[in-house]
Amino acid sequence: MKKIIITGMTSGIGKALYDEFSKTYFLIGISNDVKNDLSKDTKVKIRCNLTDLDQVKKINFRRILKSEDKVIFINNAASIGNVKMVGSFKINELVKITNLNFISSIIIIQKIISSVKNKNITFFNMTTGAANHPIRGWSLYCSTKAASKMFFEVIREEFPEINVINFDPGIVDTGMQKKIRTSDKSHFPDVDKFKKYKNNNQLKSVSEITNEIKQILKL
């Protein structure tokens, strides 16, 4: 059976994908802001704060995934964190962002690889232009997303039978962009550029992105 696992499905792109794909497919959503719900046959929800690795370690796919399943994992949950210059981060916040944007997905991927023995797997990573070039004020986001992107590239080398996709959606109208627009200019000099994107209606909608992803994944 085709099963889609998605992290961060309570808002933004993740919510749009979950809502669309759960009409037709077996969906497993992992998010901080949901109640655990393993009772539904095809709409499983797992509550997990992905900044907390003890919670991530406890995610158990054994009752949900079968070795013969065809699994698509959409690595979506991420946060830009606090937009500010290096030197002003508390240790706690940099650990949380690194866990959310990078480490948690590695733990989930390892669980999927060990559960789906036939390796009929697609790993679909939501990447960003910020993974490819430095942006002032975004050090944690740029670096964790770059690390994540490279991790997926290495999976492609190690497991040629697994389909690996790094997908950059562009600039999308979500809570993440809203947060970016509230950044302090002294920490994020480009803030006006992002306000203009919004004012000039240059942001993509989550439904456009959902359609693009549907086509890429042939869903």
Ligand X SMILES: NC(=O)c1ccc[n+]([C@@H]2O[C@H](COP(=O)([O-])OP(=O)(O)OC[C@H]3O[C@@H](n4cnc5c(N)ncnc54)[C@H](OP(=O)(O)O)[C@@H]3O)[C@@H](O)[C@H]2O)c1
Which residues contact ligand X (rule: CB under 6 A)?
A: 8-14, 31-33, 49-51, 76-79, 100, 126, 128, 145, 169, 171-172, 174-177
**Complex with ligand X: residue 74 or 113, whichever CB lies closer:** 74
Whether 123 and 162 have beta carbons less than 8 Å apart is answered as yes
Provide the minimum distance between the beta carbon of 92 and ligand X in the complex, in angstroms, as a whole number.
13
* Lookup: tokens for 126: 């939501």
Distances (CA, A) of 90 to 37, 87, 96, 138: 34, 9, 10, 15
Provide the minimum distance between the beta carbon of 7 and ligand X in the complex, in angstroms, as a whole number.
6
**Complex with ligand X: residue 31 or 183, whichever CB lies closer:** 31
CA-angle at 149, arms to 137 and 131, nearest 5°: 25
Provide the minimum distance between the beta carbon of 111 and ligand X in the complex, in angstroms, as a whole number.
16
Q: In 3D, which of 193, 189, 203, 196 has the Cα closest to residue 83?
A: 189
**Complex with ligand X: residue 69 or 206, whichever CB lies closer:** 206
Provide the minimum distance between the beta carbon of 41 and ligand X in the complex, in angstroms, as a whole number.
23
**Complex with ligand X: residue 31 or 69, whichever CB lies closer:** 31
**Complex with ligand X: residue 170 or 189, whichever CB lies closer:** 170
Whether 206 and 214 have beta carbons less than 8 Å apart is answered as no
Cα gap 151→8, rounded to integer Å? 19
Provide the minimum distance between the beta carbon of 164 and ligand X in the complex, in angstroms, as a whole number.
16
Q: Which residues, in sequence order, are CB contacts of 55 under 8 Å at separation 6+?
A: 48, 49
**Token match 């085709």: residue?**
2
